[in-house]
Structure 1
Amino acid sequence: MSKRPKIKITLVDKIGKMGCHRGHKIGDTFDFDTERGKLCPMAMHVAFPYVDILRYGGDIPKDSDGEIKICCPDAAVINIFKLEKIEE
């Protein structure tokens, strides 16, 4: 059985007017396997299906820069996270 790839989640932008309720700042990075408890539960809820797709060979539409981005569902905050599959 092959090892699942690591997934890196990085806060790369913010659109909303309020600060993150969890205290996340642009540049914060999380390893899905070891640090997912540090990531805001609302953002984690959005990220999980994408992580699953990436880990099991699926393809996710990318933005114009070729990156996979998701956003926090809190309309007052709207943190934007980049997902990266890290092959070891």
Structure 2
Amino acid sequence: MKKPKIKITLIDQKGHMGCHRGHRIGDTFDFDTERGKLCPMAMHVAFPYIDILRYGGKLPSQQEGSIAFCCPDVEVINVFKIEIEEENI
């Protein structure tokens, strides 16, 4: 079984400081090829959610095929969205 492609997008910022890694709203990362560009703190939080989506799971409060999460830096609080990318067949 082939794992689905995962896209991570910065969709909002709630904190009072800019991102220490320079991420901006609208930045998008391909999990398989660009995960090294994503802030390690955010990646640490994202990884369990990525596994949930990749293996068919869903969080009750989230839309099918996507999960939103926040980075753990209280001064920054970047909000990211993880989505399964549908492949064109």
Q: TM-score, normalised by structure 1?
A: 0.90
Q: Residues 43 and 71 of structure 1 are in contact (CA less than 8 Å); yes or no, is this contact kept in structure 2? A: yes
Residue in 2 that maps onto 1:16 = 15
What RMSD in Å do the two structures reach over aligned CA positions? 1.2
Q: Which runs of 5+ in 1 are unaligned?
A: none
How far is the alpha carbon of 1:62 from its aligned partner?
3.8
| Partner Cα distance (2:43, 2:67) in 1 | 15
Residue in 2 that maps onto 1:55 = 54
Q: Residues 49 and 67 of structure 2 are in contact (CA less than 8 Å); yes or no, is this contact kept in structure 1? A: no
The one-character-per-residue Cα deviations of 1:16-57 (angstroms, maximum 9, x if unpaired) are 000000000000000000000000000000000000111111
Aligned length: 85
Which letter maps to 2:37?
K
Q: Which runs of 5+ in 2 are unaligned?
A: none
| Partner Cα distance (2:85, 2:61) in 1 | 16
Tell me whether 5-14 or 52-61 shows the greater mean CA deviation. Answer: 52-61
Taking every aligned residue pair, what percent have the same amino acid on both sides?
Answer: 74
Residue in 1 that maps onto 2:71 = 72
Q: Which runs of 4+ in 1 moved over 4 A?
A: none
